[in-house]
A and B are shown apart, each in its own frame.
Chain A
Amino acid sequence: MPVANGNRPIGVSVVIPVKDGERYLKELLDALAREAPQEILVIDSGSRDRSREIARAAGVELLQIEPAEFAHGRTRNLGAERTTGELICFLTQDATPCPGWLEAYREAFALPERVGAAYGPHLPRADTSPMIARELGEFFASFQAPGAPAEGPVIQRQGDPSFLSNVNACYSRACWEKIRFREVAYAEDQTFGADMLAAGWSKVYAPRAAVLHAHDYGAVEFMKRYFDEYRALRETSGHVEPFGVRASTRHVVREVAADRRWMAEQGVGGAARARWTARALAHHGGRRVFSALGSRSERLPPALHSRLSLEGRAGNRGARSASGSSAPEQPGMNGSPRAHEPKPAPDPPSVPELPAAGRVDRLLQRDDYEVVARVWREGPAPLLPPLPGASERERLRLALVIPPFKRGSGGHNTLFQIFSRLEARGHACSVWLADYHNEARELWPAVLRHDINEFFRAFGGPVYRGFDAWQGADVAIATGWQTVHATLTLDQCHARAYLVNDHEPEFYATSTEHLLARDTYLHGLHCIAASPWLRDLLAERYRASADAFQLGVDHDIYRPLPVARRRDTVVYYARHSTARRAVPVGLMALGELYRRRPDTRIVLFGGEELLYSTFPYEHFKVLAPAQLARLYCEATVGLCLSLTNFSLMPKEMLACGLPCVELAGVSAESIFGADGPLELAPLEPRAIADALKRLLDDPAHWGERSRAGIEFVASHTWEHATDEVEAGLRHALRERAAGAAA
């Protein structure tokens, strides 16, 4: 027996990190008792099973740490510090030493070399799948020197493979004290192996220091495990697993054939061999795919990470291991590819590591106003010569040019309420997305079309991104400042028109966007404005030719419903992300109202974010139209503030019999009149609170406003709005003809 100083055998400590490891722990400790090391230390990091009881019953030393304290390198360093043996063995909780294990390590360290570490093979358990069993055998056989005895130790020095696995490894204390395990998220053993070889130590592969060890996963779990391993390998070493369809197919075929040969050698019967062949196909194919996915995980949506990961870890680099959270990672699953996926360990970096860099494949979002420059440089594309009687033709070719949109976009809803009806009237309608900033780059045309149908209203025609397929139109219709310059470059048109939802320069402080929005009114497009107020503004300020249309109301949805009307409820369209809704002023007004009338129920809707307030409120975020109608029918007073063109909200509130407070002196007053159905108030919190309180406290006044509102909006329909817009488009054609004649 090798001895330390000729009198006593070398002292060996065994350290076993454990978490929920009851399945094999007793078997492991029994086997260790047979091997008789100097001391055994079990480090438990928050087991919820019987692991601690098993350790105590075996009489070994038990060290308990918090799950958050666990890290592969740190915890093993702790184990080495807490033990005293000259040799320190590390086992995982599912690795059972075979007879002769300890003696084989002692022999390895007795070799006439500066041996710093040794490791032994992992043998398959009885229920290990043929694929894993074969790979284990082939992998560890690869460390045997050609022609050397199969059981003999193999010395590895600098330049040899740095593989080392803490599933089953033994270190000399002197070497560990010099090198120590790094605080890396993964592969602390592999980096130790590389570090020690670089420092001039040798390591030994000891074939007789074997353990029974294999993970028993189902096919899906195996794939997820490969995802985890290759994601971690990418994180620690930058390795990206190559993937190609042909190469992967060849690899899978080769591996399955090898499995079948191995099974034949082992005498596996025909039916079992067929069953395992199918498993092998899934195993090797899945491994290729999932390992490729794992090493490219940064390109996958974060939500997908936890689904593809056995650890359930989302994509943050090193997050799980660094935190040592209580996620179901086992010490036995730690670190390197180890026996199941043998890979040469990456050499440790000899220079300081850079922090993780953000990956930028392509940055497509930019402020691209090239089309504006083109219009300014070359002028608009020439229009086709006017055709006599074109404006009177029953059917027209209409092309609607729109900016990118989201669910709930009020302007786009107006556009498609009307455009869908124009299509239903027989006009040949198409939609074209002008996307200066590439905001919708992820949305391909069929998706855009689907979203239009889902978010706004049924549209049967085609939707295009950009203008590569431009086919010409009787009227090309710009619909927002972002679309006007693109529309001006479109040729093969008889006329162009501009459907103006709001005075958009007011959306911006002094800026490029403000200037460009203002510029859109200066190119002679015939404007069709979404209110008489807006029409007049365009005509007076920009000398633009303009018609107007009135926003419609969907009376099938917005109507008085059989819902008990409350007498204490104010509903407020608090869309803070839309600056022109003056939400801070509205909140001040509601604060004032609450101070005067503390029993008022206040309900906010229209935005996802919670807003600062001096009063309690209920928050509905964004509601569907039918839900909004329900809310309007239940409430007492509505509040909506519009600093530019009025919102559709007040009309929909009125249609439900809900009186509404709006701002005086702006667009709403021009639509509804100074003493019409709306309760108007100046932009001043106390005045708005007065108006709200009047409607809450005076039932007669409330009843009058409610009746007037229903009557007022009865004629405001989308069919009527479509009539007005259609007339505006024909007007654009007539203007074009008149302009050409002049």
Chain B
Amino acid sequence: MSAADTSNGQQSQSELELLRARVAALEAELVEVQARTNAAIGQWQERAYWLDRLHLDLNRLMERPGANELRLALRAVRIVFWRIRAIKRRLLGS
């Protein structure tokens, strides 16, 4: 085996090591991303418990005729209620 061959072999080995290290780093990154994603989805599922328990798909529900109007009406009622409460507080000083 010539010196050139030895040098090429060492270089290939070195490149292989580098590639393996890079793959390992990418795999570790993938696990980290997956773990974070899992945690985030788990948290969302925690928050969605009652919706799922009641079989409520809010997106589909809000697409139904009148649903958005109802939401706007409730919001208007809420605003009125808040204003009345604010005025009451201002007048009563509490």
Do A449 and B34 touch across chains, with their CB atoms under 8 A apart? no
Complex alpha-carbon distance, A388 and B20, angstroms: 8
User: Inside 8 A of A397's CB, which chain B residues have their CB?
Assistant: 30-31, 34
User: Inside 8 A of B27's CB, which chain A residues have their CB?
Assistant: 387, 390, 393
* Residue among B23, B24, B41 with max Cβ neighbours from chain A (10 Å): B41
A387-401, CB under 8 A of B: which get 1 and which 0? 111100101110000
Interchain nearest-CB distance for A447 vs B (Å): 5
Interface flag for A429 (CB, 8 Å): yes
A246-B66, A446-B51, A449-B42 known; A396 and B24 CB under 8 Å?
Answer: no
Closest to B66 in A: A245
Give chain B interface residues in 52-79, CB to chain A under 8 Å. 52-53, 55, 64-67, 70
User: Inside 8 A of B24's CB, which chain A residues have their CB?
Assistant: 389, 393
Q: Which of B28, B38, B52 contacts A446 (CB 8 A)?
A: B52
User: Inside 8 A of A249's CB, which chain B residues have their CB?
Assistant: 66
Interface flag for A462 (CB, 8 Å): yes
Complex alpha-carbon distance, A245 and B71, angstroms: 13
Interface flag for A524 (CB, 8 Å): no
Complex alpha-carbon distance, A249 and B69, angstroms: 11
A387-B27, A444-B55, A450-B49 known; A471 and B65 CB under 8 Å?
Answer: no
B3-42, CB under 8 A of A: which get 1 and which 0? 0000000000000000010011001101110110011011
Closest to A429 in B: B38
Closest to A444 in B: B52
User: Inside 8 A of A463's CB, which chain B residues have their CB?
Assistant: 45
Interface size on A, residues (CB 8 A): 31
User: Inside 8 A of B67's CB, which chain A residues have their CB?
Assistant: 245
Closest to A461 in B: B38
Q: Which of A389, A427, A442, A445 contacts B20 (CB 8 A)?
A: A389
A355-394, CB under 8 A of B: which get 1 and which 0? 0000000000000000000000000000000011110010
B contact patch SS: helix
A245-B65, A245-B67, A249-B66 known; A395 and B31 CB under 8 Å?
Answer: yes
Do A426 and B35 touch across chains, with their CB atoms under 8 A apart? yes
Interchain nearest-CB distance for B29 vs A (Å): 11
User: Inside 8 A of A739's CB, which chain B residues have their CB?
Assistant: none
User: Inside 8 A of B87's CB, which chain A residues have their CB?
Assistant: none
Complex alpha-carbon distance, A442 and B55, angstroms: 8
Do B42 and A246 touch across chains, with their CB atoms under 8 A apart? no
Do B70 and A446 touch across chains, with their CB atoms under 8 A apart? no
Interface flag for A110 (CB, 8 Å): no
User: Inside 8 A of A471's CB, which chain B residues have their CB?
Assistant: 34
A469-499, CB under 8 A of B: which get 1 and which 0? 0010010000000000000000000000000
Interface flag for A460 (CB, 8 Å): yes
Closest to B51 in A: A446
Complex alpha-carbon distance, A741 and B91, angstroms: 83
Do B39 and A446 touch across chains, with their CB atoms under 8 A apart? no
Q: Which of A427, A442, A462, A474 contacts B42 (CB 8 A)?
A: A462
Interface flag for B80 (CB, 8 Å): no
User: Inside 8 A of A447's CB, which chain B residues have their CB?
Assistant: 49, 52-53
Interface flag for A430 (CB, 8 Å): yes
Q: Which of B31, B32, B38, B65 contacts A462 (CB 8 A)?
A: B38
Complex alpha-carbon distance, A147 and B28, angstroms: 90
User: Inside 8 A of A444's CB, which chain B residues have their CB?
Assistant: 52-53, 55
Do B70 and A449 touch across chains, with their CB atoms under 8 A apart? no
Do A461 and B70 touch across chains, with their CB atoms under 8 A apart? no
Closest to A469 in B: B41
Complex alpha-carbon distance, A249 and B66, angstroms: 9
A245-259, CB under 8 A of B: which get 1 and which 0? 110010000000000
User: Inside 8 A of A460's CB, which chain B residues have their CB?
Assistant: 38-39, 42
Interface flag for A31 (CB, 8 Å): no
Interchain nearest-CB distance for A244 vs B (Å): 7
Complex alpha-carbon distance, A444 and B56, angstroms: 10
Interface flag for A428 (CB, 8 Å): yes
User: Inside 8 A of A389's CB, which chain B residues have their CB?
Assistant: 20, 24
Interchain nearest-CB distance for A740 vs B (Å): 16
Give chain A interface residues in 232-251, CB to chain B under 8 Å. 244-246, 249
A610-650, CB under 8 A of B: which get 1 and which 0? 00000000000000000000000000000000000000000
User: Inside 8 A of B30's CB, which chain A residues have their CB?
Assistant: 397
Do A387 and B23 touch across chains, with their CB atoms under 8 A apart? yes
Interchain nearest-CB distance for B45 vs A (Å): 4
User: Inside 8 A of A390's CB, which chain B residues have their CB?
Assistant: 27
Give chain A interface residues in 539-573, CB to chain B under 8 Å. none
Q: Which of A396, A446, A450, A459 contacts B31 (CB 8 A)?
A: A396
Complex alpha-carbon distance, A459 and B46, angstroms: 11
Interchain nearest-CB distance for B81 vs A (Å): 15
Give chain A interface residues in 436-454, CB to chain B under 8 Å. 442, 444-447, 449-450
Do B28 and A430 touch across chains, with their CB atoms under 8 A apart? no
Do A446 and B45 touch across chains, with their CB atoms under 8 A apart? yes
Point out residues on B near A: beta carbons under 8 Å: 20, 23-24, 27-28, 30-32, 34-35, 38-39, 41-42, 45-46, 48-49, 51-53, 55, 64-67, 70
Between A and B, 29 residue pairs with Cβ closer than 8 Å are A245-B65, A245-B66, A245-B70, A246-B66, A387-B23, A389-B24, A390-B27, A393-B27, A395-B28, A395-B31, A395-B35, A397-B30, A397-B31, A427-B31, A428-B34, A428-B38, A429-B38, A430-B38, A445-B52, A446-B48, A449-B45, A450-B45, A450-B49, A460-B42, A461-B41, A462-B42, A462-B45, A463-B45, A471-B34
* Extra pairs beyond A389-B24, A397-B31, A450-B45 (4, CB < 8 Å): A249-B66, A395-B31, A428-B34, A462-B38
